[in-house]
Amino acid sequence: MGPLAVTQLLALISLTVALDNGLLKTPPMGWMAWERFRCDIACKDDPKNCISEGLFRDMADRLSEDGWKELGYEYVIIDDCWMSRLRDKQGRLQPEPSRFPGGIAQLAKYIHDRGLKLGIYADMGTHTCMGYPGTTLDKIDIDAQTFASWGVDYLKFDGCSSNAVEQMLGYPLMSKALNATGRPMAYSCSWPVYVGGLPPNVNYTFLGDICHLWRNYYDIQDSWDSVLSIVEWFSNNQDDLQPAAGPGQWNDPDMLIIGNFGLSVDQARSQMALWAIMAAPLIMSNDLRNLDNSARTILQNKMAIAINQDPMGIQGRRLLQEKSHVEVYWRPLSQSASALVFLSRRTDMPYLYHSSLGKLSYDAGNYEAYDVFTGATVTGLNATTEFTFSINPSGVVMWYVYPKKASKQTKMLRKTSKLTWQKTVPRHRIAL
């Protein structure tokens, strides 16, 4: 690429208006089809689970009727494979009519009528990852206008079948095109993952100006190994990634797989806790129609959600990797509070972990901690107090830590969370 082309490219990018439509001041919450339902288009043989308007209506019903919406889970997001293989005569994307006979606008109305929001998928390239029509540079404006006309509230913009130059042009241009529609739409960019996820290939300052959230790393799979690989990559690169996050701009480690087939109950709590610490989007990909009580309890944990949704929007960090294979994660929160997650990377047996707040760089003072997954309160804490608790293999202990003189808001949050605590969750042993 010659100097003139680079100059022209940068000039074009500089014309992009920053995407500041007031959305996603906290990480988005909702449900997405991909990890659980993939590209199942066999509606004749599998009508309940195929990518169709029926599936998304079902999930909207569950979000609106089963207590999810009130907790903040508001987006119903279509992923790949919703499209017809051909654009219409006007060059617009269109849904596959046999699977979306009512059209996307009608589906959006159904979702909006339930107090929810609709997300949709497109791809910066000639084809989507599964071979459906992509959004080439000349189609960006018409696709943004089409989504706005349908009442779409969220766009996931993937990057298969495109090159680095097309991505450098296309992702900012889509931001500009979404702004130009006049309809506020959340914008999820997959750009970083296609160029390695890290500086200098990724300019996170610029990315924060044009996108609300972005995929940094590979797709999550339904396994504990996949969750750990994502957490490890984010933690190893936290000095580059953590400063990029904040209100209206979030790192996205991908979907919550809680309630599927690959995680134990302890591992499911671990994913929820770590995603809360990382200020990650809480986008579930599961079957809300067939969710067991343990998964529901974890995903609807009010304190974990409150930590994730903290208005300061500061992403947490890994503090320690102990020789015992326990890792400690920390996140600062509003009201002088903080969150701690103690993750066991062990595979043998429950482990008795010993530490103190002083060893975790807490200032002198008196504290209390609320155990997010048991409802227990730990009192009598100061920087030198030694505490001991048991952590299950691949499990977590998660604390909401606050100064002894807690605000009324903090006390109310603890009380509300405790009232909704499910007695089926086993208590961790806590000793001082």
Q: Tell me if 161 is assigned to some domain.
A: yes
Clarify whether residues 408 and 281 are in a common domain.
no
Distance between CA atoms of 171 and 137, rounded to whole angstroms? Answer: 9
80 plus 45 within the same structural domain: yes
Domain interval for residue 182: 17-308
Last residue of a domain, one of 272, 290, 308: 308
Report the alpha-carbon distance of residue 425 to residue 393 in Å, rounded.
Answer: 16
Residue 5 lies in a domain: no
The 386-391 sheet, strands edge to edge? 351-356, 386-391, 430-431
Number of domains in the chain: 2
pLDDT value of position 409: 59
Choose one of 279, 308, 337: the last residue of a domain: 308
Same domain, 284 and 327: no
Domain contains 287: yes
Nearest-angstrom CA–CA distance, 233 and 58: 35
Cα–Cα distance measured from residue 85 to residue 383, given in angstroms and rounded to the nearest whole number: 62
Q: Going residue by residue through the chain, which has 432 residues, state the pLDDT in tens, using 9 for 90 and above.
A: 544 454 455 445 555 456 778 999 999 999 999 999 999 999 999 999 999 999 999 999 999 999 999 999 999 999 999 999 999 999 999 999 999 999 999 999 999 999 999 999 999 999 999 999 999 999 999 999 999 999 999 999 999 999 999 999 999 999 999 999 999 999 999 999 999 999 999 999 999 999 999 999 999 999 999 999 999 999 999 999 999 999 999 999 999 999 999 999 999 999 999 999 999 999 999 999 999 999 999 999 999 999 999 999 999 999 999 999 999 999 999 999 999 999 999 999 999 999 999 999 999 999 999 999 999 999 999 999 999 999 999 999 999 999 997 555 566 666 666 554 433 333 333 344
**Does some domain include residue 1?**
no
CATH for 113: 3.20.20.70
Residue 2 lies in a domain: no
Map tokens 């992009």 to a residue.
16
Residue 350 sits at φ, ψ, to 5 deg, of -55, 145
Q: For residue 157, what is the enclosing H or E element?
A: strand 154-158
Of 283, 308, 333, the position where a domain reaches its end is 308
Here the tokens at position 152 are 């779409």
Rounded Cα distance between 175 and 159, Å, is: 14
pLDDT attached to residue 424: 35
Residues 177 and 245 in one domain: yes
Shared-domain flag, residues 299 and 335 = no
pLDDT of residue 251: 98
Nearest one of 208, 304, 306 to 256, comparing CA atoms: 304
DSSP 3-state assignment of 291?
coil
Q: Tell me the two tokens of residue 172.
A: 């900012």
Please report whether residue 7 resides in a domain.
Answer: no
Q: Is 398 helix (H, G, I), strand (E, B) or coil?
A: strand
CA atoms within 13 A on the CB side of 129: 14
Verify that 237 and 285 share a domain, yes or no.
yes
Phi, psi of 377, deg, nearest 5: -110, 130
Tell me: do 119 and 256 sit in the same domain: yes
Domain shared by 185 and 128, yes or no: yes
Percent of residues in the chain assigned helix, strand, coil, to nearest 5: 35, 20, 45
Do residue 418 and residue 297 come from a single domain?
no
**Dihedral through CA 397, CA 402, CA 408, CA 413, nearest 10?**
-20
Q: Does residue 398 sit within a domain?
A: yes
Contact call for residues 39 and 195 (beta carbons, < 8 A):
no
Q: How far apart are CA 352 and CA 390, in angstroms?
A: 4
Active site residues: 158, 219
pTM of this structure? 0.93
Could you tell me which residues come within 8 angstroms of residue 378 by beta carbon, excluding any fewer than 6 positions away? 368, 369, 370, 371, 387, 399, 430, 432
In a shared domain, residues 283 and 182: yes
Q: What are phi and psi of 413, to 5 degrees?
A: -65, -40
- pLDDT of 196 reads 97
Dump strand ranges (E) for 233-357. Answer: 250-252, 282-284, 317-321, 326-332, 338-344, 351-356
Residues 219 and 337 reside in one and the same domain: no
Domain-embedded: residue 293? yes
Looking at the structure, do residues 347 and 287 belong to the same domain, yes or no?
Answer: no
CATH no. for residue 396? 2.60.40.1180
